């Protein structure tokens, strides 16, 4: 083994001095520093959110407050009533009721037999008269059946005519042979043959007459079945709905669209219109048949139709505590259609004091009027559904309506009494 030299010793010395310098492990940041870091991050997120919301109009920031936009505010649900202005005698109405227009006569007209529509002769708005053909169902098969039974009838009539000739011939043969039989020239057998041939021909004639009657009945049946394919107007009126088109099947009785429509058109008598309205049980004693009324139709503003109580339906609505009343409109015009909204003013008996009624009077739903000590007021909802308080001076109350002497001019939307409402609050309209 070689002895290490001095140079080798020096190399070993140098290698022994080589070491990897290891740094001492540091401790992480303190909990206080970590908390400050988290708070700083949260604050940055909040500030960034506020800046973004302000730029987009979601928030309005001023030096004193931050305003949350209307869309983000919670809204109280309320019901509204409209302040009305009455003129003339309607201001003195003893009862006011709302309802809907309907025609005195209205019918969904279908066929008396099932079939597929071949042609429709009318459109919505068409004026029709009694018996006019509105639609026709396919009936080629019925025409063929009618032709067959008419041919059977003609054959039966021809057979009867032929039989009449045979009867006449047999009658003459019997008349010729009878003297010969009495004179003993012909035998009894020959006489009996002639006699029974005549009787048989007569009986055959009665059978053919019965066949003619049966064939005639079948012809009438086929004609009626064919007539059932023609849908006709039952009364004078106007087509308000076209319920089926060419190619659709309809069924008598209206069994539903799954198996076919029940009617082709709907016809209404628009010359005789009436309002079906609900009168509260508490006020029904003020309504009598024949009573004069005024009718305000929503679709015809600033005009009042003259009406008359036609019928009081003798049945109450337990859930709503109302009685149905039908009011016929006397001066019907072409601006009235079924299902339009209407208000009926039941007028008192006309007296000499009626002419003293003011030209214009304002009325408000009594449930919308509130009081604060001695001051009466209402909450008015503007176009943005924000409420404001309005003091009013109220007059007499009648039929849940209070006359407003000052403070309202008509057309305002007032809030039906709702506890807890505040000025400037946004509300949600319960429709």
Furthest-apart CA pair in the chain: how many Å?
A: 193
- Per the rule left: phi > 0, alpha: psi between -120 and 50, beta: everything else, 407 is left
What's the topology of domain 107-137+231-268? OB fold (Dihydrolipoamide Acetyltransferase, E2P) (2.40.50)
Alpha-carbon gap, residue 196 to 171, rounded angstroms: 10
Residues of the chain with pLDDT under 50: 1-3, 23-25, 63-68, 255-259, 352, 354-355
What's the pLDDT score for residue 56? 56
SS3 274: strand
Helices (H) and strands (E) in the chain, counts: 4, 26
* Rounded Cα–Cα distance for residues 364 and 392 (Å): 10
What is residue 311's predicted lDDT score, i.e. its pLDDT? 93
- Residue 318, both tokens: 């337990």
CA distance 209 to 4: 157
Q: What are phi and psi of 217, to 5 degrees?
A: -65, -40
Residue in 310, 276, 319, 264 with CA at minimum distance from that of residue 116: 264
Superfamily for domain range 94-104+272-347: Efflux pump adaptor protein, beta barrel domain (2.40.30.170)
Query: Rounded CA gap, 157 and 213, in Å?
Result: 10
CATH number of 74-88+353-431: 2.40.420.20
pLDDT of residue 341: 92
The residue written with tokens 């169902």 in the block is 137
CA distance 333 to 398: 31
pLDDT for the residue 64:
44
DSSP state of 72: G
CA–CA distance, 312 with 370 (Å, rounded to integer): 35
Residue extents of the structural domains in the chain: 32-69, 74-88+353-431, 94-104+272-347, 107-137+231-268, 140-227
What is the DSSP-derived secondary structure letter of residue 261? B
CA distance 269 to 128: 10
Write down the pTM of the prediction.
Answer: 0.57
């Amino acid at each position: 083994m070689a002895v290490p030299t001095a140079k080798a010793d020096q190399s070993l010395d140098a290698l022994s001095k080589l070491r990897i310098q290891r740094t001492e492990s540091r401790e992480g940041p303190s909990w206080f520093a970590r908390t400050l870091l988290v708070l700083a991050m949260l604050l940055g997120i909040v500030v960034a959110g506020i800046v973004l919301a302000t730029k987009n109009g979601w928030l309005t920031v001023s030096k004193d407050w931050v305003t949350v936009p209307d869309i983000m505010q919670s809204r109280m649900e309320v019901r509204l009533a409209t302040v009305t202005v009455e003129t003339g005698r309607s201001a003195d109405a003893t009862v006011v009721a709302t309802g809907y227009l309907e025609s005195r006569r209205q019918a969904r007209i279908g066929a008396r037999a099932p079939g597929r529509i071949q042609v429709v002769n009318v459109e919505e708005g068409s004026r029709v008269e009694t018996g006019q053909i509105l639609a026709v169902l396919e009936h080629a098969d019925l025409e063929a059946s009618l032709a067959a039974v008419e041919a059977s009838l003609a054959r039966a009539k021809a057979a009867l005519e032929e039989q009449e000739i045979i009867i006449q011939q047999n009658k003459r043969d019997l008349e010729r042979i009878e003297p010969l039989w009495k004179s003993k020239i012909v035998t009894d057998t020959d006489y009996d043959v002639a006699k029974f041939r005549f009787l048989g021909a007569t009986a055959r004639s009665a059978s053919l007459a019965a066949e003619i009657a049966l064939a005639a009945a079948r012809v009438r049946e086929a004609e009626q079945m064919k007539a059932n394919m023609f849908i006709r107007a039952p009364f004078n009126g106007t087509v308000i709905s076209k319920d089926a088109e060419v190619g659709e099947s309809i069924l008598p009785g209206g069994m539903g669209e799954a198996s076919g429509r029940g009617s082709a058109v709907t016809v209404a008598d628009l010359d005789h219109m009436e309002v079906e309205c609900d009168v509260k049980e508490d006020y029904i004693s003020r309504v009598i048949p024949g009573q004069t009324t005024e009718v305000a139709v929503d679709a015809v503003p600033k005009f009042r139709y003259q009406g008359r109580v036609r019928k009081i339906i003798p049945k109450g609505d337990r859930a709503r505590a109302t009685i149905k009343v039908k009011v016929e409109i006397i001066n019907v015009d072409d601006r009235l259609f079924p299902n339009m909204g209407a208000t009926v003013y039941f007028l008192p008996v006309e007296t000499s004091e009626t002419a003293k009624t003011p030209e214009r009077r304002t009325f408000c739903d009594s449930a919308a009027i509130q009081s604060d000590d001695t001051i009466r007021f209402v909450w008015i909802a503007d176009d943005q559904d924000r409420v404001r308080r309005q003091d009013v001076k109220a007059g007499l109350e009648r039929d849940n309506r209070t006359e407003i002497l000052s403070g309202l001019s008509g057309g305002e939307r007032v809030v039906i009494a709702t506890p807890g409402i505040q000025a400037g609050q946004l509300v949600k309209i319960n429709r």
